[in-house]
Amino acid sequence: MRTARDAGTPTTTDPRGRRRRAPLLLAAVATVGGLLAGVTLASGAQGADAAALPDDTVFHNYPANVHAWVEANPNDPRQPLIAERIASQPQAVWFSNYQPSTVTEDAAAVTSAASAAGEVPVIVSYMIPNRDCGGASAGGAPTFPAYLDWTEDFAAGLGDDPVLVVLEPDSLALTTCLDGAERAERFSSLAAAADLIHAANPEAKVYFDAGHSAWHAPATIANTLREAGILESGDGIYSNVSNYRVTGEENAFVEAVLNELGDPSLTAVIDTSRNGNGPDGSEWCDPPGRLVGESPTANTGNERIDAYLWIKLPGELDGCAGPAGSFSPDMAYELAGGN
């Protein structure tokens, strides 16, 4: 169980061991055209009750496939709505292609752009071996030693300003393809990865996978999270990544999981990128008729929930209507509210 530290300079221990971090404290300093344009970053009081993100945190909108499509298709009748409703919103940046020679540079491009803008980036590490249990998003690093080498290089590009890291979607909720030894190796590697990230950037907040409200019971996933070292190595949990569960259900779910974990310093983030219409039954793979949900914000009205984020990028496919991760303007248009 983590304990509060005295105020002072953030400290770390060996990157594969236990460590404590300073919380993120941000204050908005400017608005442009009604949108917050920058924040100042500062260290403040540390301890178990100071972990939540301030309500005025500004998330960074780094260029993604949707921005390239909007720029390349100015005359497409779908373009204005996609630009207004999706491209204008800050979304997570996924690191899902195994390119160890450039990952430090690629991560630094995201974090340096966010720092220059005075904003906080949301970055997804999606490189765990046997990713997606060989499903539509199969891939990842070839071995766990290679994964930790990749993570160390990834972490080296995270800078020293606040950054939110969504650690390996589905890595804890989806383990049915693993035997006991493989499960133990995955879980120890997730904890080590979180520690490598914190060692490189003590201002980083690392969130562990909790699945979503219709997958595992809170007590079940809390036990899995403990097994994966969240109490020693994590800052919080995330839910609903790439799914469609309504925000109210996810609020109750993450609070129940946090209660089971019993550590008041842990918080949560929830993916609202595609949950505006809720789910289509149990269908998770590119169901029609969905809408984007609440815009990204740290003003959740709940100090235990750091933010609603767009982690899954609206318009990028799950793998049924096209290759996983490919951008579909038809899907983006529908999610944006087009007919």
Catalytic residue numbers read: 132, 170, 318
Helices (H) and strands (E) in the chain, counts: 9, 9
Distance separating alpha carbons of residues 273 and 294, to the nearest angstrom: 7
Sign of CA dihedral 179, 181, 184, 188: negative
Q: What secondary structure letter does DSSP report for 86? A: I
Sole residue written with tokens 């404590």: 20
Question: In Å, what is the CA distance from 59 to each residue of 37, 151, 242?
Answer: 10, 23, 19
Sole residue written with tokens 């199969």: 138
Contact 83, 43 (CB under 8 A): no
Helix H or strand E encompassing 313: none
Distance separating alpha carbons of residues 185 and 201, to the nearest angstrom: 24
Comparing C-alpha atoms, which of 302, 258, 330, 276 is closest to residue 77?
Answer: 330
Distance separating alpha carbons of residues 137 and 312, to the nearest angstrom: 13
* CB contact burial 263-281 (16+ within 10 A = b; e otherwise): bebbbbbbbbbbbbebbee
